[in-house]
Amino acid sequence: MRALVAATLFALVISGCVQTPQANRPTDTPVATPSETPTIAPETPSPTLSSTPAPTVVPPPVQTPEPQPTTRAAGEQLYPYYFEARRQFSIFPPTPQIDFDEPADVFGDSWFRGLNTNGQPIFSVRRDFIMTPRTAYHEMGHAYEALLLRKDPTRDVLAQYWTYRKFAGTWQDAMKASAAQTNPLAAWTTNPHEMWAESFSAGMIGVGGNYDPAAMKSFFLSLLSSP
């Protein structure tokens, strides 16, 4: 019995010392992490070049012409100057003809419109114009030229003026040159009739021009009696 027990114990000891070899576990195959696909940003579209829009041209408002006034208040400002001119130049009729005023939107300040059938000078003035002595006597100068020609149509008073001023050439040549001017102001200042009227005005008010205004007035007075 002891022998059996001993043998049994010996067998257990031996079995406890000898380990049963374990089968090796297969190495875990690493799972390949898929590479991340790079995110490709969409290409920024090239800016579309748009043509600069043409500016919208707004047509200017249509200007309605001012109606013809039916008053003579502006033109009647000429009366005192007319009567003074007549006092010194007897060729002027007792009264002028004053036409209706001109609208405020016209070009110009005052106008000599010629002589009526009775020989009266005809004047008109822009309705908002404040009369000045220079402008008033300028218009009287135009009337004076017309009255001298009415008295004697064969007399070239403008040629006499041209000679007195010692201008080169003739006033007819100057008239053609004035008409060829493209600048309205230049055309006006070189017009012989306007030069005559400006000289008459300077003589009446006693100032203006590159000459002696008093001597100029004496010249115009001399035309009343000279042939």
Q: What is the structure's pLDDT at 6?
A: 41
CA distance 201 to 139: 8
* Beta-bridge partner residues of 108: none
- Check residue 42 and give its pLDDT: 55
- Write b or e for each residue in 159-177: b if 16 or more Cβ atoms lie within 10 A of its Cβ, otherwise e: ebbbebbeeeeebeebeee
Secondary structure of 74-108 in HEC code, one letter for each residue: CHHHHHHHHHHHHHHCCCCCCCCEECCCECCCCCC
**Residues above pLDDT 70, as percent of the chain:** 75
pLDDT by residue (tens digit) across 85-115? 999 999 999 999 999 999 999 989 999 999 9
Higher local confidence (pLDDT), 14 or 37: 37
Higher model confidence: residue 118 or residue 44?
118
Give the separation between CA 15 and CA 19, rounded to whole angstroms.
Answer: 7
Nearest residue to 145 via CA among 183, 69, 186, 201: 201
- The Cα–Cα gap between 46 and 69 comes to 66
Distance, in Å, from the CA atom of 47 to the CA atom of 101, rounded to the nearest integer, reads 64
pLDDT band, very low/low/confident/very high, at 23 (cuts 50, 70, 90): very low
The kind and range of the H/E element at 171 are helix 171-179
